[in-house]
């Protein structure tokens, strides 16, 4: 298909661009579908899963990473804070009492 762009007005060009973008999106979806089917067929033939090929990929274990404590309550050394998330009351109270965050570092 050959389109002489020189003969199109602004409206016609915009329509052509929109149609081309739509077609491009549709072709990409079709291509993804075809490739996905091929991959699934190959995995099924080899008795594998995507997790076997890419271990841990796309899976959430539900576990949060543990971060080492960064700050310690000077009044109670059992209370620590990693510096992530909401500030604990003892940290806020120490700052209000005149301590700096550097004073509370472990």
Q: Please say whether the beta carbons of 50 and 42 come within 8 A.
A: no
Q: Please say whether the beta carbons of 103 and 68 come within 8 A.
A: no
How does the average pLDDT of the chain come out, rounded?
Answer: 90
Looking at residue 59, what is its pLDDT? 58
Q: Tens digits of per-residue pLDDT, 43-76?
A: 999 999 888 888 876 556 666 778 899 999 988 9
Looking at residue 81, what is its pLDDT? 93
Looking at residue 47, what is its pLDDT? 93
For every residue of the chain, which 3-state class applies, written as one string?
CCCCHHHCCHHHHHHHHHHHHHHHHHHHHHHHHHHHHHHHHHHHHCCCCHHHHCCCCCCCCCCCCCCCCCEECCCCCCCEECCCCCCCHHHHHHHHCCCCHHHHEC
Q: Tens digits of per-residue pLDDT, 87-101?
A: 999 999 999 999 998
Looking at residue 64, what is its pLDDT? 72
Looking at residue 55, what is its pLDDT? 83
């Amino acid at each position: 298909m050959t389109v002489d762009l020189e003969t199109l007005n602004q409206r016609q060009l915009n329509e052509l661009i929109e149609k081309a973008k739509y077609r491009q999106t549709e072709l990409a979806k079709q291509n993804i579908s075809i490739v996905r089917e091929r991959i699934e067929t190959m995995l099924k033939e080899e008795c594998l899963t995507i997790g076997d090929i890419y271990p841990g990929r796309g899976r959430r274990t539900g576990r949060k990473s543990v971060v080492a404590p960064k700050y310690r309550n000077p009044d109670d050394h059992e209370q620590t804070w990693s510096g992530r998330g909401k500030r604990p009351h003892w940290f806020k109270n120490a700052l209000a009492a005149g301590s700096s965050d550097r004073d509370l570092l472990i």
